[in-house]
Structure 1
Amino acid sequence: MNTSAAEIEVLSEEECMELLRSRHVGRVAVVDHGQPLIFPVNYATDDRAVVFRTAPGMKLQEARMARVAFEIDEVDTATGTAWSVLVKGVAYEITEALDHLSERLRELVVEPMAPGERSNWVAVVRHEISGRRFALESGS
């Protein structure tokens, strides 16, 4: 795609949050021994954090107290537009945390699509949010 920077619209924080609240599937990116890993997750969000549920394992281990990225996007061929929202922050395992934010986040509805028990909660506390939108070139 040959889109110039002038043709890319930077989304406001409000627009990013609206898009983030309108979806339920995103991707969390972590680093494991210097290698990037990306996992699709079902999520919910409030004004401060993105929260998802997971089974014990690598995704949870690599996300604990780590700097992570969380991303959602869409390509809409009907309207000829594409957009993405990126959240950067620190991931915390909040399954048994007693602080007010963790308790409030665990009340959000997160319905994992993957089979199996997803009893562990992870919150990505947002430090930065950004987004962009652009028109698709014909033939995209």
Structure 2
Amino acid sequence: MTPDASIPETAQLPTEECWRLLRGTSVGRLAVWVQDHPEIFPINYKVHQESLVFRTGAGTKLASALGNMVALEADGADTDSGIAWSVVVKGSATALPNTPEVVASLGHLLFPWETGRKDHFLRIVPEEVSGRRFRISAPLTWGGSLDEATRAGLE
């Protein structure tokens, strides 16, 4: 890992760069509020018209996301350059109609990892998009004691 000296320790990303990074990956973590606590689900998504679309089946994720505020985080790293990024999208989740047009245009682009029926399409309409880029620091610079497994891997 060779750090890129042109990248500062942490840099806030412009919105356009956040969208470019989101388009370059398809897996994120969806955070929803379930009764009295947060839950986080891995999802496959696609950027579609400055929003995010994912498909899901019936259950906690659908019931908690639909019509409510949610957050999605996606991350990436280039271990050769030592640079990582993280983008967070916050907004409301709304249902898309399960029409042949939606299935044809979006359904074939979304590949859930888990088997089962995923016949609900949801769109996250963003109210806030933020991101940051940062150098990946060596574990010995993290400022805390290392557990035995981490220490063994470094020795």
1-side partners of 2:126 and 2:39: how far apart?
19
Q: Give unpaired runs (5+ residues) of structure 1.
A: 1-5, 98-102
1:116 CA drift (Å)? 1.1
Corresponding residue number in structure 2 for 1:100: none
Q: How many Å apart are 1:114 and its aligned residue? A: 0.9
- Structure 2 residue corresponding to 1:30, chosen from 29, 32, 38: 32
CA offset at residue 111 of structure 1?
A: 1.4
How many angstroms apart in 1 are the aligned matches of 2:134 and 2:70? Answer: 25
CA distance in 2, matches of 1:11, 1:105: 33
Figure out how many residues of one structure are paired with residues of the other and give that number. 130
Structure 1: how far apart are the matches of 2:61 and 2:104? 18
Report if the CA contact (8 A) 1:82-1:134 is conserved. yes
Contact 2:23 2:47 in 1 (8 A): yes
Structure 1 or 2: larger strand share? 1
Q: Structure 2: where are the runs of 5+ without partners?
A: 1-7, 141-155
The 1:33–1:106 alpha-carbon spacing in structure 2 relative to 1, beyond 3 Å, is farther
1:88-99 equivalence runs, <5 A = 88-96=90-98
Alpha carbons 2:98, 2:119 under 8 Å: kept = no
Contact 1:51 1:105 in 2 (8 A): no
Residue in 2 aligned with 1:137? 137
Trace 1:3-82 onto structure 2 (pairs within 5 A).
7-82=9-84
**Cα distance in 1, alignment partners of residues 45 and 90 from structure 2:** 15
Runs of 4+ in 1 over 3 A off after TM superposition: 103-106
Deviation, 1:127, is 1.0
- TM-score by length of structure 1 reads 0.84
Paired amino acid for 1:45: V
Offset at residue 105 of structure 1 (A):
8.8
Report the RMSD for the aligned CA atoms in angstroms.
2.0
Residues 65-118 of structure 1, C-alpha deviation per residue, up to 9 Å, x if partnerless? 000001101233222111100001000122348xxxxx6697222111211111
CA distance in 1, matches of 2:64, 2:71: 12
Using the size of structure 2 for normalisation, the TM-score is 0.76
Deviation at 1:59, TM superposition (A): 0.3
CA distance in structure 2 between the partners assigned to 1:42 and 1:87 by the alignment:
14
Partners of 1:95 and 1:57 lie apart in 2 by: 18
